[in-house]
Amino acid sequence: MGVVANEPWLDEDEQKAWRSYLLMRKTLETHLVRHLQREFGLSDSDFEILVNLSESETGRMRAFELGEATQWEKSRISHHLSRMEKRGLIRKAACDARYPEIVLTEQGLEAIKACAPVHAARVRELFVDVLGKERMTALGDAAEDVLAAVDEHQRTSCPPEVRGCG
């Protein structure tokens, strides 16, 4: 039907690059996530939480700190922490008499210690080493620029209540 092809809102090169990016992004993520899941029984969300907890001084954080760190919505945090608690990866410790702290359990610590190096090696093999030092830095910078643009776009062209979570 050529709805898009006949009115190229992105020109050919732009389309090509954009679609390559989309494909890479999806393929790489799917691949990494699948491995994490099959080898360690962890989802990428589990991994993200565990990384953040394990990087903290004490292995304990408030839920909303995790929210800031991960940029997730609070309800997502809440839901996911519940699931992780059921599986014994974390535990909620009521110390503040109000807001529980999220504590990394022994099991959670084992899990992250086991899978992090494997995961990192895979990231290195499939991304870091493929791109090489220079393109990595370039990509990092590019990412910052895009992030800035999105932030700007959020601030200027969205009514505040549309901006969402953060």
Residues found near DNA in the complex (CB under 7 A): 30, 34, 37, 43-46, 62-64, 67, 72-83, 92, 97-100, 164-165
Q: Which of 41, 93, 107, 146 binds its own copies (CB under 8 A)?
A: 146
Q: Binding pattern to its own copies, positions 25-64, x when CB under 8 A?
A: xxxx-xx--x---x------------x-xxxxxxx-----
* Residue among 25 and 34 whose Cβ is closer to DNA: 34
Distance (Å, whole) CA 84 – CA 61: 15
Q: Which of 82, 83, 149, 155 binds its own copies (CB under 8 A)?
A: 149
Of its own copies, DNA, none, which one does residue 85 interact with (CB within 5 to 8 Å by kind)?
Answer: none
* Cβ-Cβ contacts under 8 Å for 52 (sequence gap 6 or more): 61, 66, 69, 70
* Residue among 63 and 116 whose Cβ is closer to its own copies: 116
> Using CB under 8 A, which of the segments 75-83, 89-97, 138-146 binds its own copies?
138-146
Of DNA, its own copies, none, which one does residue 14 interact with (CB within 5 to 8 Å by kind)?
Answer: its own copies
Integer Rg of the chain from CA: 20
* Residue listed under structure tokens 């995961």: 119
Under rule CB under 8 A, residue 3 binds its own copies: yes
Q: Which of 66, 77, 84, 112 binds its own copies (CB under 8 A)?
A: 112
